[in-house]
């Protein structure tokens, strides 16, 4: 939340000195120019919140400069200054787009009042536009992660903070859902240390149940506002800034956190309804699959018998058709098995399992299955992980599906990163990240829908089954993806059985 920037343009250096001093005394960051060209150079290089232009400059007057400034920054409020003020001049200046009019010599109270009013009008216009845009974006965001990313980026844009983060309480743990803003290369605090501080601030505002301002390391200031859902704090929106926030900053943060909370409530309700619908569809599909299993078994026997008879009769073409029928029956049988598994998941048989070994074997199998030899694979597996209580047979399906999807997205090029590490006390994280094609928001929103697929030969059951198995283990499966920039999937598992 930087200081507001003011541009003052006048060909009189004494006037520039007086205005620079007076505007800086009310907290503005002031730039000055003595000519039309110098002013345009500053306007091209910097963003300004308010401008003061002298009317009678030579060779280009203030009205022409205002026209050129508005061509670059249409919403910039401009105050026209002159020592020869008349009603006609004032009306003409406002008619051509000036915010207001100042006469020389300046009355300090009038200068402060009109500049302050111009800044307030500009800010409220920007905030209204941004809030409307955020509301539309939240309404169209298909996933909870996408909604949080929208909130974080919009908060940084609106408040001009260094960084914003959204935290959510999940199973008693505070989880970082989205981060937006400056990187360490931009002069901001490194992300890891910053998130620790922001996390502590999030916990505080969730405890106090109200927006708070806190001191950060160095001269940074941290602001936080809780996300209220169902009468309690479900999370928090937190920002960090190098300057002291204003009351308007706190109000804006509270507005964004309120919108995020409403969107969170609606998204949770939508996911609950979708989960119930998927479960009902899964049960129905499992019943249909059960009814198909025996007829498919009979068809398989008939196809094999037909193939045998045609082979004996030296009918090569007929035998080949019989083999194709047999393969299609095998494909249908596998589909029936997957549908049954989703609708009637098997009871888990947990055992202490070396997670890294399971991951390596699944990775090798996936590479062989999709011929992913041209893909660069980076393994960052923590050798110090404890054994994890899980069902290796069921989790093998999860990881194999994730690896196959990643290799197929990479199409024999790019990089796949496999990472395992402790997440927090009692939890293990597995991350599968690829530099492939990524997913559009609409695809990501539907990727767990039963039978939804973007593949020509896919069943649309892989990801719903993967999430179901992970949730059976008491874990979570989280997806982040952007079209053209790859996909990251995180699997979080408890070390001990829940």
Q: Where are the domains of the chain?
A: 5-124, 129-265, 346-498
What is the value of pTM for the model shown?
Answer: 0.47
Structure tokens at 317: 């073409």
Which CATH class, in words, describes the domain spanning 5-124? alpha beta
Assess if CATH 3.40.50.720 describes domain 129-265.
no
**What are the pLDDT tens digits along the chain (498 aa)?**
457 889 999 988 998 999 999 999 988 889 999 999 999 999 888 778 899 998 888 888 888 999 999 888 887 899 998 876 566 776 778 888 888 888 888 888 889 899 988 888 777 776 666 666 666 655 555 566 677 777 788 777 766 677 888 888 877 778 888 888 765 344 444 555 567 888 888 888 888 888 888 877 666 778 888 888 777 888 888 988 776 666 666 777 777 777 777 777 766 665 665 566 556 655 666 666 666 766 777 787 888 888 888 888 888 888 888 888 888 887 777 666 666 665 566 678 899 999 999 999 999 888 877 765 678 899 999 999 999 999 998 899 899 989 988 888 888 788 999 999 998 778 999 999 999 888 887 777 777 776 667 765 556 667 888 888 898 898 889 888 888 888 999 999 999 876
- What is the C-alpha separation between 482 and 409, in angstroms, rounded? 13
Instruction: Say if CB 79 and CB 53 are below 8 A apart.
Output: yes
- What is the C-alpha separation between 458 and 282, in angstroms, rounded? 17
Ramachandran area for residue 244 (φ above 0: left; ψ -120 to 50: alpha; else beta): beta
- What is the C-alpha separation between 291 and 186, in angstroms, rounded? 62
The CATH fold assigned to 346-498 is Heat Shock Protein 90 (3.30.565)
User: What DSSP state is assigned to residue 388?
Assistant: E
Task: List Cβ neighbours of 132 (8 Å cut-off, separation of 6 or more).
Answer: none
């Amino acid at each position: 939340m930087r200081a507001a920037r003011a541009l003052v343009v006048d060909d009189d250096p004494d006037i520039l000195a007086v205005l620079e001093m007076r505007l800086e005394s009310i907290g503005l960051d002031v730039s000055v120019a003595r000519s039309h060209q110098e002013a345009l150079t500053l306007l091209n290089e910097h963003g300004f919140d308010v401008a003061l232009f002298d009317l009678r400059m030579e060779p280009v007057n203030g009205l022409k400069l205002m026209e050129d400034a508005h061509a670059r920054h249409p919403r910039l409020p401009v105050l026209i200054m002159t020592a020869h003020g008349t009603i006609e001049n004032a009306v003409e200046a406002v008619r051509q787009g000036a915010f207001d009019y100042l006469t020389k010599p300046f009355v300090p109270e009038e200068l402060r009042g009109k500049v302050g009013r111009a800044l307030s009008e500009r800010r409220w216009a920007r905030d209204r536009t941004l809030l409307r845009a955020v509301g539309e974006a939240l309404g169209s965001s298909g996933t909870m992660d996408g909604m949080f990313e929208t909130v974080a980026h919009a908060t940084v844009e609106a408040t001009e903070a260094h960084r914003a983060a959204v935290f959510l309480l999940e199973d008693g743990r505070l989880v970082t859902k989205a981060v937006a803003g400056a990187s360490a290369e931009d002069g901001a605090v490194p992300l890891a240390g910053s998130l620790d501080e922001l996390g502590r601030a999030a916990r505080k505002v969730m405890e106090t149940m109200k927006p708070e301002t806190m001191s950060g390391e160095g001269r940074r200031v941290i602001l936080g506002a809780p996300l209220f859902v169902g009468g309690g704090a479900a999370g928090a929106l937190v920002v960090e800034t190098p300057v002291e926030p204003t009351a308007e900053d706190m109000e804006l943060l509270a507005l964004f956190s309120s919108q995020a909370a409403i969107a969170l409530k609606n998204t949770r309700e939508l996911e609950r309804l979708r989960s119930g619908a998927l479960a009902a569809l899964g049960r129905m599909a499992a019943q249909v699959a059960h009814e198909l299993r025996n007829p498919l078994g009979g068809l398989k026997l008939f196809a094999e018998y037909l193939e045998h008879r045609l082979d004996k009769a030296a009918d090569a073409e007929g035998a080949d058709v019989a083999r194709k029928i047999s393969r299609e029956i095998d494909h249908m049988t596998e589909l029936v098995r997957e549908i049954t598994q989703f609708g009637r998941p098997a009871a888990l048989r947990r055992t202490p399992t070396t997670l890294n070994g399971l991951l390596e074997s699944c990775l090798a199998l996936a590479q062989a299955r999709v011929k992913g030899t041209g893909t660069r694979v980076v393994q960052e597996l923590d050798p110090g992980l404890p054994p994890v209580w899980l069902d290796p047979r069921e989790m093998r399906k999860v990881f194999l599906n994730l690896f196959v999807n990643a290799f197929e997205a990479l199409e024999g090029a790019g990089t796949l990163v496999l990472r395992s590490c402790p997440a927090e006390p009692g939890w293990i994280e597995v991350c599968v990240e690829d530099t492939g094609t990524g997913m559009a928001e609409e695809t990501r929103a539907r990727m767990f829908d039963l039978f939804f697929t973007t593949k020509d030969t896919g069943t649309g059951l892989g990801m719903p089954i993967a999430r179901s198995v992970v949730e059976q283990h008491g874990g979570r499966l989280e997806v982040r993806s952007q079209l053209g920039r790859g996909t990251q999937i995180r699997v979080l598992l408890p070390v001990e059985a829940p």
